[in-house]
């Protein structure tokens, strides 16, 4: 599989401009025979949507999104956008996966940070489901974890048990807001290599670049293989807007899991019993 990491900037509130940017990147990826194009979190709206007076939300089957997928031909495309929920009541921080001009799957961000300069819980409703889904015509399975979702190892675990061979992680990670003794780049590299090694699959991390308000997005998009090794990466820095194309062999996932079966015996029944016990004792719902 050939994967294009679309490490792009986004103009806050400029849906038309961001859509045109995405369409151009997809067209260029098709010329390089890419099988999958992954964009950052909220790549079509910008991150700080609370600063914009107009409604930026889109339906996952919006004709403009389907048009981008049509331009991709047989390649899959993952796009990040604010999703308009049912009856106009809610907005979700979502990523839609498209193939062949149609919507295959929508992931709604599950864990919304609300600390420091992050105010996602003020503007979005958290998603309620985590599902793996078919890619490349259903021949393989992937799962999406949007940024802070990946800081919850149980979500990646569920994705693996649901059959994912690919974790797609679109992000809007910034360093300027971070507390003391925290390095965003180092933390992300530790997370992705940990997942690749322990869950024995490919991790595709795509972070945006640019400056928005007081946030500086640093890029550093990369792919980790089932041995936990970085097999391709983009540049770092707010000005490092670029696309990187990386070839992977998904057969490596089965090969790795056969050699060292770390994920085969999850004992889901045991986990359900212990989770039920913790809930009965007053655990977080």
Q: Do the beta carbons of residue 245 and residue 206 sit within 8 Å?
A: no
Burial zone of 226 (CB within 10 Å; 0-12 exposed, 13-18 middle, 19+ buried): buried
Residue found under tokens 């260029």: 28
Q: Which two tokens stand for residue 246?
A: 């990386």
Cα four-point dihedral sign 144, 189, 41, 25? negative
- List the catalytic residue out of 41, 83, 120, 241: 41
Strands 36-38 and 2-7: parallel
Measured CA to CA in angstroms, residue 130 lies from 94, 110, 113, 120 at distances of: 12, 8, 18, 19
Name residue, tokens 């699959």: 201
Instruction: State yes or no: is 109 an active-site residue.
Output: yes
Is 234 known to be catalytic?
A: no
Helix residue spans in 73-117 (DSSP H):
none
Which of 83, 99, 120, 147 is flagged as catalytic? 147
What residues contact residue 279 under an 8 Å CB cut-off, 6+ apart?
285
Query: What is the residue whose two structure tokens read 């498209």?
Result: 98
Rounded to whole angstroms, the Cα distance separating 94 from 44 reads: 11
Q: Which of 83, 99, 109, 244 is catalytic?
A: 109
Active site residue ranges: 41, 109, 147
């Amino acid at each position: 599989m050939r994967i294009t990491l679309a490490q792009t900037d986004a103009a806050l509130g400029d849906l038309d401009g961001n859509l045109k940017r995405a369409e151009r990147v997809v067209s260029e990826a098709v010329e390089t025979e890419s099988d999958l194009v992954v964009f950052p979190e909220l790549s079509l709206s910008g991150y700080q949507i609370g600063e914009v007076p107009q409604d930026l939300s889109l339906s996952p089957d919006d004709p403009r999104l389907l048009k981008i997928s049509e331009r991709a031909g047989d390649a899959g495309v993952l796009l990040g956008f604010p999703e308009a929920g049912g009856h106009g009541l809610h907005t979700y921080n979502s990523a839609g996966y498209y193939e062949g001009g149609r919507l295959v799957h929508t992931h709604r961000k599950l864990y919304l940070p609300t600390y420091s300069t992050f105010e996602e819980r003020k503007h979005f409703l958290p998603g309620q489901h985590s599902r793996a889904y078919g890619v490349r015509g259903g021949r393989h399975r992937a799962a999406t974890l949007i940024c802070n979702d990946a800081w919850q190892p149980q979500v990646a675990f569920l994705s693996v048990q649901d059959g994912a061979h690919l974790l797609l992680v679109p992000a809007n990670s910034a360093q300027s807001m971070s507390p003391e003794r925290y390095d965003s780049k180092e933390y992300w590299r530790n997370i992705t290599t940990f997942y690749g090694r322990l869950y024995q699959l490919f991790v595709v991390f795509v972070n945006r670049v640019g400056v928005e308000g007081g946030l500086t997005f640093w890029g550093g998009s990369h792919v980790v293989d089932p041995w936990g090794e970085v097999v391709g990466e983009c540049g770092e820095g707010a000005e490092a807007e670029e696309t990187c194309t990386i070839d992977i062999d998904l057969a490596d996932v089965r090969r790795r899991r056969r050699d060292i079966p770390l994920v085969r015996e999850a004992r889901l029944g045991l986990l359900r019993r212990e989770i039920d016990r913790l809930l009965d004792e007053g655990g977080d719902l």
